[in-house]
Structure 1
Amino acid sequence: MGSIAPRVLILGGTSEARALAAELVARDIPVTSSLAGRVAEPRLPEGDIRVGGFGGPGGLARWLADHDVRAVVDATHPFARRISESAAVATAAAGVPVLRLERPGWQAGEADDWHWADTLADAARLLPHLGTRALLTTGRQGLAEFAGLDMWLLARCVDPPDESDGPLPPRLEVILSRGPYQLAGESELLRRHRIDVLVTKDSGGDMTAAKLHAAREARIPVIVVRRPPRPDMPRSADVKSAVCWVVDHTKR
């Protein structure tokens, strides 16, 4: 296709987004990856990069037109609902095809003690009934939902929480870390802090799945927050098929 290929916009921030960008760059397809800018030192993809919001669906639609974008891939985190909604509206207005690239969610095994919650608020209400020392791996921006709990909580985050994230639980400890994680390390973390319940989002993927295996071995319950609903658009569960979709939609 060469350098005349039209530009592709990847709404990124995930490992799948980075892998897709690398595949497209290798095929000489011009690609821009857009990052939300919520992580201080994000892992950067290949190709062009922009950081920050677009100013809502209207701003995104204008950006697509101004940059001659011919295809959009929404490869944001499974819980980044707002940008997906904006992408659906903006691409429809701009007449640009859009694909949702999303890894499959996790599945409980026979030995797992999982408890599903629709929201973080639901998870916070359920938590005191399942344990007294919890590991939260739901991100710093959701910690305010647990602020009313008088129990010991360990939150693992990429960046430290700040005032903009809202009130914090009174008995909270924070550790800063970024995956991928291994089973041995996750098991040691649970033992060292005497964790008796784990709270996580259904993010899916292999990078952070080791905590679920560690919880299974330790026989501790896990609260899993369901993914929010997404706009209706074509979907792909893997990078390979997303590459094929992009190539098909950027042919002249």
Structure 2
Amino acid sequence: MKILILGGTREAREIADIASGERGVEIVSSLAGRVREPVLPVGAVRMGGFGGVQGLREWISGNAIDLVVDATHPFAGGMTANAAQAAAQLGLPVLHVRRPGWHEQPGDRWIRVPNLTVAAETVAGLGDRVFLTVGRQGVAAFAASGQFFLIRAIDSPEGAVPPRHEVLLARGPFAVEEEIALLTAHAIEVLVTKDSGGALTEAKLQAARTLGLPVVMIDRPPLPGGAEQVETVAQAWDWVLARR
């Protein structure tokens, strides 16, 4: 059995770890290449895009793939849609692995929005100093804003940025105490983030709760209609084993 793992997440790396120890299973992990120094999984790795649905379909056929496991970031909507279409056209099973999203806790002041554009419109009236953690590719949506933005990302933003900003390059996990100190030191008044889920970057939400700050939370794009989805690595591996 040969599996294509569309990755870039902790879940994808854990699936690759498990598969690497399974006899009769061959894996190829594909990373989009959007992070300059990604954390690599074990086994064969392919970097870069496929060229849309047709390119992905041709690559899957040319490499004798039997199963597709989409364990990309919850906001990698384009790749997820392409994977679903390509697999359907080839008649191959495809599974989408999505960690649970975050949920509001007592004391939270969340404002849920559907996308980056609405997030930029919403944050305009919530405070002058913004902590922006939407990934480097999402920063351009805020380029016309007059507020100050503390932009945290793994790599520097490319393209347009707000005129008043500071870039902080960092990779999680982050501790709650550190996040509180960061928000306090920069006099942050509002947090903007994506509903990525997971414990790696959840501390910023706890810090915002402690400080009583509003959070503009961007909802995930929906999965394709009829998509088969699981939330955990264990569930994903059970799905793979059921198709051996």
Question: TM-score per shorter chain, which class?
Answer: over 0.9
Q: What is the aligned partner in structure 1 of residue 228 from structure 2?
A: 234
The alpha-carbon deviation at position 67 of structure 1 amounts to 1.4
Does residue 244 of structure 1 match 2:244?
Answer: no
Report SS of the residue matched to 1:190. helix
Q: What is the aligned partner in structure 1 of residue 161 from structure 2?
A: 168
Does residue 111 of structure 1 match 2:104?
Answer: no
Matches within 5 A, 1:80-95: 80-95=76-91
Gap regions ≥5 residues in structure 2: none
Q: What is the aligned partner in structure 1 of residue 5 from structure 2?
A: 10
TM-score by length of 1: 0.94
- For the aligned residues, what is the CA RMSD? 0.9
Does residue 212 of structure 1 match 2:208?
Answer: no
The alpha-carbon deviation at position 56 of structure 1 amounts to 1.2
Equivalent residue in structure 2 for 1:62, among 58, 61, 66: 58
Q: What is the aligned partner in structure 2 of residue 190 from structure 1?
A: 183
Q: What is the aligned partner in structure 1 of residue 194 from structure 2?
A: 201
**Partner letter of residue 236 of structure 2?**
A
Equivalent residue in structure 1 for 2:94, among 95, 98, 115: 98
User: Could you tell me how far apart the structure 2 residues matched to 1:144 and 1:171 are?
Assistant: 13
User: Could you tell me how far apart the structure 1 residues matched to 2:84 and 2:149 are?
Assistant: 37
User: Could you tell me how far apart the structure 2 residues matched to 1:115 and 1:161 are?
Assistant: 25
User: Could you tell me how far apart the structure 1 residues matched to 2:221 and 2:97 are?
Assistant: 15
Q: What is the aligned partner in structure 2 of residue 137 from structure 1?
A: 133
User: Could you tell me how far apart the structure 1 residues matched to 2:6 and 2:56 are?
Assistant: 11
The alpha-carbon deviation at position 120 of structure 1 amounts to 0.8
User: Could you tell me how far apart the structure 1 residues matched to 2:142 and 2:61 are?
Assistant: 42
Matches within 5 A, 1:18-57: 18-28=13-23, 29-57=25-53
Residues 62-81 of structure 1, C-alpha deviation per residue, up to 9 Å, x if partnerless? 11112111110000001100
Report SS of the residue matched to 2:66. strand
**Partner letter of residue 29 of structure 2?**
S
Runs of 4+ displaced beyond 4 Å: none
User: Could you tell me how far apart the structure 2 residues matched to 1:154 and 1:118 are?
Assistant: 22
**Partner letter of residue 229 of structure 1?**
P
Moved more, 33-42 or 128-137: 128-137
The alpha-carbon deviation at position 128 of structure 1 amounts to 2.1
User: Could you tell me how far apart the structure 1 residues matched to 2:40 and 2:155 are?
Assistant: 16
Gap regions ≥5 residues in structure 1: 1-5
**Partner letter of residue 8 of structure 1?**
I
Residues 20-69 of structure 1, C-alpha deviation per residue, up to 9 Å, x if partnerless? 11011121321110000010000000111000111111111111112111
User: Could you tell me how far apart the structure 2 residues matched to 1:34 and 1:153 are?
Assistant: 32
User: Could you tell me how far apart the structure 1 residues matched to 2:58 and 2:92 are?
Assistant: 12
**Partner letter of residue 12 of structure 2?**
A
